A and B are shown apart, each in its own frame.
Chain A
Amino acid sequence: MRRLLGYIGALAAILVFWELAALLINSPALPTPVATIPLFGQYALKLAPDFAISLYRVVLAMLIGTALAMPLGLVIGRSERLNTFFAPLLYLLYPIPKIVFLPVLLILLGLGDAPKVVLIALTIFFQVLVTVRDAARTVPEAAIISIRSLGAHSFDVYRHVVVPACLPELITALRISSGTAIAILFFAEAIAGSTGLGYFIVDSWAMINYPRMFVGIIAMAVLGVLLYECFDLLERRLLRQKAH
Chain B
Amino acid sequence: MAAEGSILTFQGLTLDYTSAAGSITALSGVGFDLQKGEPLVLIGPSGCGKTSTLLLAAGLLKPTSGSVMVDGAAITRPREATALILQEYGLLPWKTVFENAALGLRIRRRARAEISERTLAALAEVGLAQFAKNYPDELSGGMRQRLALARALTLDADLLLMDEPLSALDAMLREGMQDNLLKLWHARGHAQVLVTHSVEEAAFLGRRIAVFSARPGRIQAWVDNPAMGELDFRSTAAYQDCCQELREALRKQSQYEGVSQEEALHA
Contact = CB atoms under 8 A, between A and B. Distances in A.
Contacts of A2: none
A142 B88 contact: yes
B137 A147 contact: no
A48 B114 CA distance: 52
A113 B94 CA distance: 38
B78 A148 contact: yes
Contact of A241 (B86, B94, B151): B94
A143 B90 contact: yes
Given A145-B60, A146-B86, A164-B94, A151 B103 contact: no
B60 A148 contact: yes
Interface string B83-102: 11011111011110000000
A160 B78 contact: no
B210 interface: no
A241 B103 contact: no
Contacts of B103: 147, 150, 160
A151 B78 contact: yes
A189 B95 CA distance: 43
B122 interface: no
Nearest to B59: A149
Contact of B107 (A143, A145, A147): A147
Given A241-B135, A242-B94, A149 B88 contact: no
Contact of A151 (B94, B107, B135, B138): B107
B86 A142 contact: yes
Interface in B63-82: 78-80, 82
Interface residues of B, number: 28
A160 B78 CA distance: 17
Contact of A146 (B80, B90, B135, B138): B90
Interface string A149-168: 11110001000110011000
Contacts of A243: 137
A143 to B, nearest CB: 6
Interface in B122-167: 135, 137-138, 151, 155
Given A146-B86, A146-B90, A149-B60, A244 B138 contact: yes
A244 B93 CA distance: 8
A160 B99 CA distance: 10
Contacts of A244: 135, 137-138
B255 to A, nearest CB: 34
Given A151-B78, A244-B137, A156 B86 contact: no
B94 A150 contact: no
B135 A149 contact: no
Contacts of A149: 58, 60, 78, 82-84, 86, 90
A24 to B, nearest CB: 52
Contacts of B151: 150
Given A151-B108, A156-B107, A243-B137, A146 B94 contact: no
Which of B80, B93, B151 counts the most chain A CB atoms within 10 A? B93
Which of A151, A156, A242 counts the most chain B CB atoms within 10 A? A151
B104 interface: yes
Nearest to B93: A242
Contact of B90 (A142, A156, A164): A142
Contacts of B84: 146, 149
B56 to A, nearest CB: 12
B265 interface: no
Contacts of B87: 142
A145 B94 contact: no
B55 interface: yes
A152 B103 CA distance: 10
Contacts of A242: 93-94, 135
Contacts of B60: 145, 148-149
Interface of A: 140, 142-143, 145-152, 156, 160-161, 164-165, 241-244
Interface of B: 55, 58, 60, 78-80, 82-84, 86-90, 92-95, 103-104, 106-108, 135, 137-138, 151, 155
Given A150-B155, A164-B95, 16 more contacts: A142-B88, A143-B92, A145-B60, A146-B89, A147-B90, A147-B92, A149-B78, A149-B83, A150-B78, A151-B104, A160-B107, A161-B92, A164-B94, A241-B135, A243-B137, A244-B137
9 contacts: A146-B84, A147-B92, A149-B58, A149-B84, A149-B86, A150-B103, A150-B107, A160-B107, A242-B94
